[in-house]
Amino acid sequence: MCGRYTFTAPAPVVEARFEATMPADAAPTFNAAPSQRLPIITNVEPGKVQLFQWGLLPAWVKDAQKANKPINARAETLTEKPSFRQLLQRRRCLVLADSFYEWERPAAGSKGPKIPHRIMLRSEQPFALAGLWDEWVNRETGEVHPTFTIITTEPNELMTGIHDRMPVILPGREAELQWLDDGGAAKTQLLRPYHALDMKQYTVGSQVNSPGNNDSACAAPFTWS
């Protein structure tokens, strides 16, 4: 599962790295959480960063209030579920990040708290998570609600001791362009665990547990006793 992440890179860095213009209202986030509007790049407009709500609301849903809004989609079953299979074919996106959080469960029999970890590239540079997006239209008002979900895969060696899932980090610009390209090879070949040796992690404090907290303290190293 991927339920929180960060994206704090300055706009000039983002625009150079992803070859896309940033919206004026995009703000850094140290604790991106579901339901928030967050920066993504779609296959339809690859030269533009847009703010979509995290939590997928497919176009075919009739009742938005009652609908499940998945924040993650399992890479292994994308082609088995009709809603995800269609989006894999026509609505893919890059979810922009520079780290993500995951909570380590206490050892069996222990009553200790779940310990949050911050995971990033060794280079500490921004990266793109593989995602799917869609647009739901309110039939009464005509208002369009663009949303997205993050694709997850099995853990690599770094993540194994923390959690049994990890988000799909696309390995560089070529893979990102392949993911956005409507042609080319099967997209599922890109949905693999990232190389563990190119990543690092450290524990952070309990501030990140609440989506109401969104400052640098969320990402600060913290040693749990």
Q: What confidence category does residue 129 fall into, taking pLDDT thresholds of 50, 70 and 90?
A: very high
CA dihedral (123, 195, 127, 74) in degrees, to 10, reads -150
DSSP string across 85-153: HHHHHH-EEEEEESEEEEEEPPPTT--PPPEEEEEEETT---EEEEEEEEEEE-TTT--EEEEEEEEEE
Catalytic residue list: 2, 102
Between 92 and 113, name the one with better pLDDT.
92
Give which of 145, 105, 99 is closest to 122, Cα–Cα. 99
Question: Is beta strand 115-121 parallel, antiparallel or unpaired with respect to 166-167?
Answer: unpaired
Tokens of 224: 């749990």
Express as a percent the part of the chain with pLDDT over 90. 84
- The residue-averaged pLDDT of 103-115 equals 83
Cα atoms in the Cβ-side hemisphere of radius 13 Å centred on 214: 14
- The residue-averaged pLDDT of 76-80 equals 92
d(CA 127, CA 130): 10
pLDDT single digits (tens) 20-49? 999 999 999 999 999 999 999 999 999 999
Burial (CB < 10 A; 0-12, 13-18, 19+), residue 31, is buried
pLDDT at residue 106, rounded to an integer = 80
Q: Is the pLDDT of residue 82 over 90?
A: no
Rg (CA), the chain: 17
- The residue-averaged pLDDT of 190-199 equals 97
Alpha carbon distances (Å) from 116 to 72, 122, 127:
19, 18, 20
